[in-house]
Chain A
Amino acid sequence: MTANETRGNVTEPWFYPPREFGPVMSGAVIGGLGILHVFLAQFAIGGGMLMTYVEWLSAKGRCPDGRIFLRGFFRILVLISFVLGAVTGVGMWLTSIQVSPATIGLMVRTFHWIWAIEWTSFMLEVISGYVFYRYGERLEPRRRLQLLGLYSFAAWSSLFWINGILSWQLTPGLWLETGNVWLGFFNPSFWPSLLFRTLACMATAALSAAAVINLMHVSRNRQHALLAVTSRFLIPMLGMPFLAVWYLLIIPADSRSWILGGSTVITMLFGVGAVSCALVAAYAIVAVIYRRLYVNGATALLLIALAFGATAGGEFVREGARKPFSVRETLFSNAIAPADVAMLRLTGSAERDPYPLPAALPTHQLELGARVYRVQCRVCHTLSGMNGLVHLTATWDADQQRLNLAKLQRTKAFMPPFAGTPRELEALVQWLRWQAHDEPEQWPEVEDALVLARIRGFLDEVGTAPGSRSELTSARLQP
């Protein structure tokens, strides 16, 4: 199957009921839940590895309080990760549907067997984990280690599978030409992403262990000895900068440019993630490992908060760096396929949308403008909340709005091209202006043939290709 055939169904004229989250943009909703889920998953995956390590040391007689630690740590893991991890996992799927059904639909059609494999890992993770939690005390050391090994293998393999799908969104690689699921899965950013996430899991587990150790009713010396063992999982953080550089080098040039200064927000979030990560690593290596200082509960919680900040920064950067795509070269952020833009500029994007507007507007043109907003802008923007369109376009005059929206991919290279007719674009302009003027009861319809011709000219001039640097470069290279 070719990539085009995979994408084929995306272009079907399915309209979904549009939904908005008030002043919060949809991306922030899925991002917020995603960060929580990723952090919990890191805790579960790294926790499994850490517990296996401690159990192994205990069996060798090199960690006398290992069993006490395991009891406390696993209880927290069950209460937090088994519950919230499972629930937010389902929540991620349902939220993805609310935000962009076309994107999650394409992902399911392409990677359903990978997800099904991941499901078998989930089953193994839950069952082996619960068996250990419930019966571990009754089992022989060898069997305990085997069960914990199974649990951590299952947890890490769920990361392995989902990592292939998530990294494919940014770097689909040879899948674009072949449609081969494995070429998409083992895509260019698969390995740096997997290794980086694995280290993040280990660090999260070590920091969580520091908090758990502080809750244990044993002497400070014994707590300190345990801390010395569990903090070894922080050492691999030293590899993170190298993996981050590898990742940055391998992602598309335009995505890299958003991260390294091209987009202020993404660069700032990258900075938040990198600095948080560096602070945790510095404290871990210098204070905990080198100087063997004790980590009290408050410090452990602060370090966990920093790690959460690093995760949040990293996940937002990963999402943001894909712009203007949700799946690179395949689907724009607004769920319109690049191959469909030219057609939609002739047939229109919103006129067939059957779902009514929440309220009647003064003119048909304004109603069309509101529909165009729903189809093309709503996924990443709100009207007047986060990333609000009215605010973003308020200082532009009408002609500037027409030009900037028609040449949207050049106005901001991380925006997708406008995918509608000149009539739809004019309707969007009028609707934005009407909004900016506080929705007056009377508003003139602009059906000026000259204006529409000018918009058509802008659209033809800019073309339908994305405006990001890599595409521009490749376009320039073409004879």
Chain B
Amino acid sequence: MNLPFPFGFSTPTALYLSFYVLTLALHFAFMGYTLAGAALLAVRALLGRAKPPPGTLAHLVQDWLPFGLGLAITAGVAPLLFLQLCYEHAFYTANLLLFHRWMLIVPLLGFGFYLLYVLKSGLGTRHEWLWRSAAAGAFLCFLFVGWSWTENHLLSQDNAQWVEFYGSGARFYRSGGILPRLGFWICLSGVVLASWLAWQLRFEESRGPTDAHLHRQTCALGLASTLLAVLTALLQAALHPELGAAARSAVASPYSYLAAIGTLSVVAGWVVQWWQETSSKLSLVLTSAGTTALLLGVVVVREALRLQNSDLQALQRVTKQASDAGGLPAFCVFLVINGTLVAFALHSAVEAVRRPQPSERKALSSAPVD
């Protein structure tokens, strides 16, 4: 295959793979916020600190985490759908092999969700130990879900091991690829979280001045996460040469460059924000566009590696059958309709934010620096 993704594939395959990577990137945009946000609160808890007061980044994150998780789960429906369609046999087999251990992600996701509400509730204010336990617990739940997805992804591609894995009765798939890969995604989550936080601070600014420290903390989070993401990506490439080969392949190389450009853009955005001590339009454009490019590049490179190990003929056959089933025009129509309605709902939120009630105004500028 000598053409960049998705051009080397038949039209149906290209279509479904494109929807898969696009919706996966969207899912990660929310999932990253949740995972890194929960990590931020867990670190705070481990440092023995109490529930964050208003006017801190941790408080901002804590306030929005349940919504972030709700969106992450909902946005995750689409990539899960296209994943089943494109890699039915491999994905289903990995699900079945991991069995109860894999299914644990469902109750743990629910448990973690409720812990996020505990963090926000008055219970956390009255009982510090409860807040700390909930913060650590929520992060562990989401970490387990992330671990399980990574494990599932790698096991689904390791078809030579399936029969032996089943026969051994094992519930954990051991692979040297899991930790560096999971580490990379956690670091990338930090990049995503910082990008969202910059927007959240921008909204707060529209209601009044915000403390410069908050912007710098966001910059520091973004820069550190980006640096660590680059390091873990390089580590992965060093440990698994096939990943480097996939990234350099004709299918993925434009996206590797896209990810690299995205990384530079993100770094530039944080530097600008650091100097300006505010979420300026320039820094927001640089960080948001950079993060989007980085995410898109990474998910395509990830896919290129999987495609190298996949039965492409089966993939083309299945996607051809699926495309013949019909329904795409209706999807496009409803995507536009519901997308417009979502925009309307978000516009309503912006209207409401810009019309704050005095009693609800959090004095970000006068609050203690966290």
Contact A1 B325 (CB under 8 A): yes
A146 to B342, CA, bound (A): 12
Contact A123 B342 (CB under 8 A): yes
Contact B349 A135 (CB under 8 A): yes
Contact A112 B322 (CB under 8 A): yes
CB distance from A345 to the nearest CB of B (A): 25
Contact B341 A124 (CB under 8 A): yes
A16 to B163, CA, bound (A): 10
**Interface residues of B, CB < 8 Å — how many?**
67
Q: Which of A61-69, A113-121, A210-218, A444-452 contacts B (4 or more CB under 8 A)?
A: A113-121
Which of B74, B99, B330 contacts A117 (CB under 8 A)?
B330
A9-B317, A91-B106, A358-B169 are known contacts. Are A124 and B342 too (CB-CB below 8 A)?
Answer: yes
A5 to B95, CA, bound (A): 26
Contact B81 A119 (CB under 8 A): yes
A1 to B163, CA, bound (A): 35
Which of A9, A120, A137, A354 contacts B334 (CB under 8 A)?
A120
Contact B327 A122 (CB under 8 A): no
A88 to B324, CA, bound (A): 30
A245 interface hit (Cβ, 8 Å): no
A298 interface hit (Cβ, 8 Å): no
A95 to B67, CA, bound (A): 25
| Nearest-CB residue, chain A, relative to B63 | A134
Contact A131 B348 (CB under 8 A): yes
A319 to B252, CA, bound (A): 45
Within 8 A of A (CB), among B330-346: 330-331, 334-335, 337-339, 341-342, 344-346
CB distance from B128 to the nearest CB of A (A): 23
B73 interface hit (Cβ, 8 Å): yes
List chain A residues, Cβ under 8 A from B73: 86-87, 90
Which of A6, A115, A131 contacts B321 (CB under 8 A)?
A6
A238 interface hit (Cβ, 8 Å): no
Contact B103 A116 (CB under 8 A): no
| Nearest-CB residue, chain A, relative to B333 | A117
B243 interface hit (Cβ, 8 Å): no
A475 interface hit (Cβ, 8 Å): no
Contact A14 B70 (CB under 8 A): no
Contact B351 A115 (CB under 8 A): no
CB distance from A174 to the nearest CB of B (A): 14
Contact A108 B84 (CB under 8 A): yes
Contact A105 B99 (CB under 8 A): no
Residue-wise, chain A 426-446 has the 8 Å CB interface mask toward B (1 for contact) of: 000000000000000000000
A115-B81, A124-B338, A138-B356 are known contacts. Are A147 and B345 too (CB-CB below 8 A)?
Answer: yes
List chain B residues, Cβ under 8 A from A110: 325
List chain A residues, Cβ under 8 A from B327: 111-114, 117, 181-182
Contact A94 B103 (CB under 8 A): yes
Contact A101 B70 (CB under 8 A): no
A113-B328, A127-B342, A147-B345 are known contacts. Are A19 and B99 too (CB-CB below 8 A)?
Answer: yes
Q: Which of B2-10, B50-58, B108-116, B265-273 contacts A (4 or more CB under 8 A)?
A: B108-116
List chain B residues, Cβ under 8 A from A127: 71, 342, 345-346
Contact B97 A1 (CB under 8 A): no
Chain A binding surface SS class: helix
A86-B73, A113-B330 are known contacts. Are A131 and B345 too (CB-CB below 8 A)?
Answer: yes
| Nearest-CB residue, chain A, relative to B80 | A93
B175 interface hit (Cβ, 8 Å): no
List chain B residues, Cβ under 8 A from A143: 348, 351
Within 8 A of B (CB), among A74-133: 79, 82-84, 86-91, 93-95, 97-98, 101, 104-105, 108-117, 119-124, 126-128, 130-131
A93 to B78, CA, bound (A): 12
CB distance from B158 to the nearest CB of A (A): 13
CB distance from B34 to the nearest CB of A (A): 13
Contact B324 A1 (CB under 8 A): yes
| Nearest-CB residue, chain A, relative to B16 | A112
CB distance from B337 to the nearest CB of A (A): 8
Contact B342 A17 (CB under 8 A): no
Contact B351 A90 (CB under 8 A): no
Contact B167 A139 (CB under 8 A): no
A9-B317, A105-B92, A139-B351 are known contacts. Are A112 and B81 too (CB-CB below 8 A)?
Answer: yes
List chain A residues, Cβ under 8 A from B162: 17
Contact B93 A16 (CB under 8 A): yes
List chain A residues, Cβ under 8 A from B326: 1, 113, 180-182
A5 to B323, CA, bound (A): 12
Contact A104 B166 (CB under 8 A): no
| Nearest-CB residue, chain B, relative to A79 | B117
Which of B163, B330, B352 contacts A135 (CB under 8 A)?
B352
B370 interface hit (Cβ, 8 Å): no
Contact A16 B92 (CB under 8 A): yes
B309 interface hit (Cβ, 8 Å): no
Contact B317 A98 (CB under 8 A): no
A290 interface hit (Cβ, 8 Å): no
| Nearest-CB residue, chain A, relative to B26 | A123
CB distance from A334 to the nearest CB of B (A): 16
B96 interface hit (Cβ, 8 Å): yes
| Nearest-CB residue, chain B, relative to A130 | B67
CB distance from A10 to the nearest CB of B (A): 10
Contact B324 A119 (CB under 8 A): no
List chain A residues, Cβ under 8 A from B113: 83, 86-87
Contact A355 B166 (CB under 8 A): yes
A101-B96, A123-B75, A181-B325 are known contacts. Are A117 and B334 too (CB-CB below 8 A)?
Answer: yes
Contact A90 B109 (CB under 8 A): yes
Contact B353 A135 (CB under 8 A): yes
B318 interface hit (Cβ, 8 Å): yes
| Nearest-CB residue, chain A, relative to B76 | A90
CB distance from B353 to the nearest CB of A (A): 7
A9-B321, A93-B80, A112-B82 are known contacts. Are A17 and B74 too (CB-CB below 8 A)?
Answer: no
B85 interface hit (Cβ, 8 Å): yes
List the 5 shortest-distance A-B pairs measured between CB atoms, nearest first.
A113-B327, A135-B352, A1-B324, A120-B338, A91-B106
Other than A90-B106, A109-B88, give 17 A-B pairs with Cβ distance below 8 A. A9-B317, A19-B99, A87-B107, A94-B95, A94-B105, A95-B103, A98-B95, A104-B84, A108-B81, A108-B85, A109-B85, A109-B325, A124-B341, A124-B345, A126-B70, A135-B352, A182-B327
Question: Can you pick out 30 interface pairs between chain A and chain B where the beta carbons lie within 8 Å of each other?
Answer: A1-B321, A9-B321, A16-B93, A19-B96, A19-B99, A90-B109, A98-B95, A98-B103, A105-B84, A109-B322, A110-B325, A112-B322, A114-B327, A115-B77, A115-B81, A117-B335, A119-B74, A121-B338, A122-B77, A123-B75, A127-B345, A128-B342, A130-B67, A131-B346, A134-B349, A138-B352, A146-B344, A147-B348, A154-B338, A358-B169
